[in-house]
Amino acid sequence: MQNPLKKRGSLFLVLFVIVSGLRVVLSFTSKPQVVLPPALALSSHTQPLPLPPISPAVNPEQLREMERKLAELSQPLEVRTPPQDTPPPPPAPPPPPAFRASKPGADQFQPLPFPAGITEPYTPEGFKKNLERALKECPMGAMELVSMDCSEFPCMAVTELKDETAKHANLNECMPWIDIYTGGTQYVSGVRKREGQEIQYMSWVPLPPHSADAKLVMLRSTRRAKGLLKALAAP
């Protein structure tokens, strides 16, 4: 018969071996613990590390400017060719005349009245002033204003030539005159005897700005000049 004490001791030994084995297994399978040094250990007095600075939000105006520049850069390139030789544009038509003396259908046998709205150079006073200035400033020889007729439009002046150089005088070559009377000047020369001597005269009439008036003035200038020269030659 087996001894009960011996049997109990064997059972105790088996249990001890099993428990010891479990401890060894658990020691290898359990997670390792990290022990922080005292300087890094968290406590109630530890301050959190500062966060990195956050860049400010983009200004909407800057964003729109960036989008605009991006749109410009994305545009296709424009190839410019040198301009071709093109004829210059036609000159602009001249402005209409400021006034008109004749009526539609007027003929050369009727004198022209002074029209309304006439400009200063075509008034009797303005015409005389401009003529005297031209005779003084332009080298046309010695001439003297001896008569002026303003019984119809425009006024006509008659000058007497005092020397031979005045025979080639021409108001159409006098700058102070043509700057004012841009339409030209009609002139008629003639010789009349006075006290047995031949006197040479020249009549001058500026052409008005309206073409219809200018045509009638040219047609009437010779007849008017003959009448004035005849009156000067009368005793």
Model confidence, pTM: 0.57
Q: Which residues contact 156 (CB under 8 A, 6 or more apart)?
A: 148, 149, 150, 203, 204, 205, 221, 224, 225, 228
At residue 146 the predicted structure's pLDDT band, cuts being 50, 70 and 90, is: very high
Cβ proximity of 111 and 220 under 8 Å: yes
pLDDT at 234: 62
Tell me what the mean pLDDT of segment 35-60 comes to.
56
Name the residue ranges covered by the structural domains of the chain.
120-233
pLDDT at 25: 43
At residue 82 the predicted structure's pLDDT band, cuts being 50, 70 and 90, is: low
At residue 76 the predicted structure's pLDDT band, cuts being 50, 70 and 90, is: confident
Q: What angle do CA 184, 190, 194 make, to 5 degrees?
A: 140
Distance CA 207, CA 215 (A): 8
Tell me what the mean pLDDT of segment 46-60 comes to.
60
pLDDT at 24: 46
Q: Which fold has domain 120-233?
A: Threonyl-tRNA Synthetase; Chain A, domain 2 (3.30.980)
Burial of 102 (0-12, 13-18, 19+ CB in 10 A): buried
- The per-residue pLDDT for range 172-200, each reduced to its tens digit, is 889 999 999 998 999 898 888 777 788 88
Burial of 229 (0-12, 13-18, 19+ CB in 10 A): buried
Cβ proximity of 116 and 99 under 8 Å: yes
- H or E element at residue 198: strand 197-206
pLDDT at 156: 97
Between 16-30, 74-88, 112-126, 167-181, the lowest mean confidence (pLDDT) is in 16-30
Residue 226 clears pLDDT 60, i.e. is over it: yes
